Amino acid sequence: MIRVLVAGAAGRMGREVVRAVSAAHGMEVVAAVDPGAVGVSVDTGTAATLLCRAGLTEAIDECHPDVMVDFTHPTVVEANLRVALARGVDCVVGTTGLSEHKLLELSALASGDTALFFAPNFAIGAVLMMDFAARAAKFMPHVEIIELHHDQKADAPSGTALRTAQLVAAARSSAPQTPGRDTELAGLEGARGAVVDGVHVHSIRLPGLVAHQEVLFGGQGQTLSIRHDTIDRTSFMPGVVLAVREVKSRRGLLIGLDKLMGE
């Protein structure tokens, strides 16, 4: 039985993780941590009652989890990882905002058999979207990314958009010349979006959205659009459960759900 601690358990993603892990064969949620919701009951989908705790260190020492799943906030995820990895707890992270350099630094805290797994997106369709975009970039190097999320998202661009831009940049032989920031009107800087490894990325934040991304390619006399839409957060749960199940047999730093899908 894989013992799981969920950090950020009272949040929208955290609650889904608690239910999904509780329903999965061979794993159980042994602790829920959320300093902003101490004493709040989190639905496990079973008869068990799970109350949110305040302290991560105390929860780990008392409940002895094998894996911590973190869907918290960019301002607290690093501290959570430092605590968990130092105590030999494998970590599955969906909180974005940490650079690859920072993830490498944190993974150095892990003991020999401990793993730090990070995925910018746990939806299987999103993984395929990124893979298809990287393949297309070899043949259509003119590309821009539009990512759309709910208005409570704490970071922009999204981790998925950043990862997609990195994969596209690595796949294409060169970054073609396109209208850049020099074309933005005075006082209206930002119109061309952020530039990630030579790829323009545009972030939209609106109520009613969940998580969406469109990768737009342009070529002579043609365009290509690759789009993924998350319409419900349950779409992330098969990927989270897969990561919890697989991380125990891994070590060091792994980035991207494709690493666990045999891609």
Place of tokens 């009652």: 49
Query: Of the residues 149, 200, 212, 228, which is catalytic?
Result: 149
Residue 158 near residue 120, CB atoms below 8 Å: yes
Please confirm, yes or no, whether 73 is among the known catalytic residues: no
Q: How many whole angstroms separate alpha carbon 131 and alpha carbon 126?
A: 9
DSSP state of 220: T
HEC-encoded secondary structure of 132-183: HHHHHHCCCCEEEEEEEECCCCCCCCCHHHHHHHHHHHHHCCCCCCCCCHHH
Host H or E run for residue 202: strand 199-205
The single-letter code of the amino acid at 142 is: H
Compute CA 44 distance to the chain's CA centroid, rounded to the nearest angstrom: 22
Q: How many whole angstroms separate alpha carbon 218 and alpha carbon 116?
A: 37
Please confirm, yes or no, whether 25 is among the known catalytic residues: no
Q: How many whole angstroms separate alpha carbon 65 and alpha carbon 171?
A: 39
Query: Of the residues 64, 142, 150, 153, which is catalytic?
Result: 153
Give the residue numbers annotated as catalytic, written as ranges: 149, 153
